[in-house]
Structures are given as C-alpha cells and as structure tokens.
Amino acid sequence: MARRTTTAATAPSTIAAACLFLATLTHAIDPMWLQSSYSGGENPPGWQEGDSPGQTVFLTDGGSDVSGNYQLPSCPTILIGSAQVNGDPDSGWQGLPTVVGMDLARFPLAGYGDAVLPYYIERGKNTMNIKRALVVQPGKSRDAWKYGNLARNSMICAAANDSAPVNMDEVLVTAPMWFSDADQAAGAVGETDVYFKSNRWYEGGMSRGPGDVEISSVTALDQFIGSFMNREVYPNLETVVVLGHSLGAQFAQRYALMRDAQDGDDRVRYWIGNPGSFAWLTTARPETIQSSCADSYNAWPYGGNATDPIRQFPSTFKDEFEGDWSGVVSRYLTRTLRHAQGEADDGPGDTHCEAQAQGSTHLERGQNFQSMLECMDRGRPGNIVFDYIPDTSHQDYPMMAHPLSQYRLFLETDTSTGDATVGDEATCNAATTTTVGDDDDDDNNGAAGRGRTMGAWTIAAGMALGAVTVGW
C-alpha cells in the first residue's frame, strides 16, 4: 500500500503507528502464554527439572489432560496439564506432585504446636504487586494441585482477553491441601501436616492430626487467609477470593457461614461453583423430606442444626451455632457471595436424603437456594449474586474459565450488584418453602408447584460438551 501512494513520506510512520497499535492489542499478554507459540506437548513456562509428568502444553482441539480437561475455544492461551500423582482419592494419596511454576509450601498454624497446612502457591510473584489472592479449594479428591492449576489456567485465559485483560502480575493463585486419614495411611501426609477424617474438612470438621492436634479446617483457613491481609507483605492487596467447585464449593459456602467477623472481611469474597449441597439457612426445604430424613434433614452440614447425635458438629463453632443461629445467618447475608451454577448440571451429586430435600440436581439445589434467599424477610441481598453458566454441566474448568466467572474471580471489585444477577432464574414462591409435615398443599412438592423459570436451563440440559467430572 505504501509503495503505491504518492504521499509516501507520511505513510510509513502512519503504518508503523498502526502496526504498533495492532501489536499492542494482540499482545496484551506475553506470547509465551499464547497457543500460537506452541504446537502442543511442550513443557510450559516455569517448568523445571523434577516437576511431575502430565503438565505439558495443551492447545484448543489438542486433546485433554489427565484430569479430562481441555482448552476452551474462547481461550487463545495454553492449557497447562494437570500433574500426575501416585495413589488415588479412596485409598489415599501417596505423595503430592510437584506443580509447574508453583511452590509446595507449609503454612504454620499458630497456637497448634508445629502443625502446618500444606499449600501450593505460584512461584516468583512479587508480593508488592499483588492486588488479588485466590484461595482455591480442592474437590472431593483433595486434588489441590489440579484446582490450583485450573484457576491459573483460567487466569492465563483471562489475561489474554484484550477488552478486559487481567494483569497476571497482580493476581496470586494459591491452593491449600486438605489431607484425609487415608492420605496419612498411604504416605502423602508429612509429619506435621494437618489432616482430617475422610473429607470432613468440607464441613469445618476438626482435624485428626498431626498427633493430638484438633483444629477446624475453618480456623486453619482463617489463619491462611489472614496471612494475605498482612500489609507488610501484601501492601496492595485488595481482595481475597475463596473459591471452589463441587465439594470445594461446599466448603467455600460453609466457610462463609462459619467464619467469624474479623479484620479483612471487607476484602474477602466467595465464588461457589456447583456445590453438591448447601448449608441451608432456613428450616424449610423445597423438596419432599423423606421420612428417613425427618430428624436429620437440617443437621449440619445440610442445615444449621448442630445437635444431631450422629454427626458431630465441629466443637469450635458448636456454642455459637446452637446459641445464635440467627446471628450466624445475619453475618452470612452480609458477605460478598458469587454463586455459579452450570445450566446443564443436572447430575444428582449428593444422593443423601438431606441433599435430595434441597433439590434433585446440582442446578436445582442452586436455584432453590437462590429462591430461599429471595423468600427471606428482606429478599436476596444485592451482595449475593447467582450466575447461571450456559451449556455447562458439572465441569470445573469450563465453569471457572467462562468469561462471567473470570470477571467474578479476577476483576470484580464491587460488593453489591443490586439487581444485576445474571441469568436470574429463581424467584420467591411459596412452593419453595415446604416444611416437614406441611402436606396441606399438593403444589408444595414436585415440579408443577415450582415458581421458577425453568425454560432456559431445561433447553440447556443435555447440551454439555466433553468431560463431565463426577463429584459432589
């Protein structure tokens, strides 16, 4: 073009400026994160000798990693594969994998001897620049390495969005590791690492060890989150996001209920993706309460009843929950909560009758939980928001890497969005407030009585693509 013009004198600089402008636009992120720099299968940035196998570069349409995840078409960036690990979640993990670009560190739990909480944290980031720390919970497989990596993959993708790029230098991904007694028997648990009976960490349970150490997972997480509030280490930190999918979401939701009012609360927000059940805030339930559940349907972790004889309520919080449940609920309602529900997540998840009383699928439980909030005295507070993610089932990475979720996780700073809930699909309806023994209205139970807008997600159901991760 420049060769043909007669006013060539000005053309080159104009073109150069245009090119520079374009270059800036297309390279908002370092090319080392872009798919165009790879053919797939290479070691990703940050790889070093000794990192666990499996963590290679995956491109869109380039297959899936050991966890069944693949790069989404909306992400022009690389997907770093999940690390391979020895053992399994049922018989226990035999060790923790070494994750590319992350350190495996141990957080000292003050007041609990030399007990420590193991966690993954991105390597080499300047804490002075960090504005936002993500505290990613594992799923029911206690796979902190996988979930920390998925959050990082979502962040890399969000950093390549030129209309609203995330600055990766300002975000820090961390993932605490909640061990079980099976992991202890199988060998992964270090001498001073805290561990729990099976997955009781997700309900704030008390630890089984090390030694005779008894600490609630909530107390441990309080301390861990508190470390990011330290202005000397993180002078610019504005936000801590506590997030999880499936069982990790169950923990995030219950943590928001159990966490005391404490310094830094105004900087903490929660992202809760497709939990298998909720700790319900009222004693009513939207679905039939089976007779086998008449006493237990509202027992913790499904509801606020802390006195169930079979399920031991975490001792740290027992007095408060028994004595001031309404205070616990009021505190919860002030928190900055972001729910994400896959519109195609019609899997049953938790099949216990306590969970079934909340809805028969992950999606229904989320909608019913929203409906419960809408029905409360002052309605759903604007600081509690529900996003319904289209065409997505019980899929951790597609949930976390959807642009809406990326906005919630990496960019959003407002606490209240008022009415701006996206895909608002649940409204208050008396049909969603069944109580035990309330059988005077046939419409109380069953689909016919529900007041929710069901069209959108019914259509979306069954459209989920690719790997479906099974779990709570």
List residues near ligand NAG by CB under 6 A: 74, 161, 163-164, 295, 298-299, 305, 307-309, 403, 407
**441, 470, 416, 420: which is closest to 246 by C-alpha?**
470
Comparing CB distances to ligand NAG, the nearer of 50 and 309 is 309
Structure tokens at 230: 């330290």
CB of 156 to ligand NAG, least distance (A): 12
Which amino acid appears at position 320 of this protein?
E
CB of 260 to ligand NAG, least distance (A): 23
Read off the DSSP letter of residue 276: S
CB of 456 to ligand NAG, least distance (A): 18
Comparing CB distances to ligand NAG, the nearer of 251 and 313 is 313
CB of 416 to ligand NAG, least distance (A): 18
CB of 283 to ligand NAG, least distance (A): 6
Could you give the CA distance from residue 248 to residue 254 in angstroms, rounded to a whole number? 10
Read off the DSSP letter of residue 256: H
CB of 26 to ligand NAG, least distance (A): 14
Comparing CB distances to ligand NAG, the nearer of 374 and 412 is 412
- Three-state DSSP at 168 gives helix
Comparing CB distances to ligand NAG, the nearer of 50 and 73 is 73
Comparing CB distances to ligand NAG, the nearer of 215 and 281 is 281
Q: 253, 278 in Cβ contact below 8 A?
A: yes
Structure tokens at 143: 């796979």
Q: 299, 354 in Cβ contact below 8 A?
A: yes
Burial of 171 (0-12, 13-18, 19+ CB in 10 A): buried
Could you give the CA distance from residue 152 to residue 58 in angstroms, rounded to a whole number? 14
Range list of H helices, 160-209: 181-186
Comparing CB distances to ligand NAG, the nearer of 74 and 415 is 74
Burial of 3 (0-12, 13-18, 19+ CB in 10 A): exposed
Comparing CB distances to ligand NAG, the nearer of 305 and 371 is 305
CB of 161 to ligand NAG, least distance (A): 4
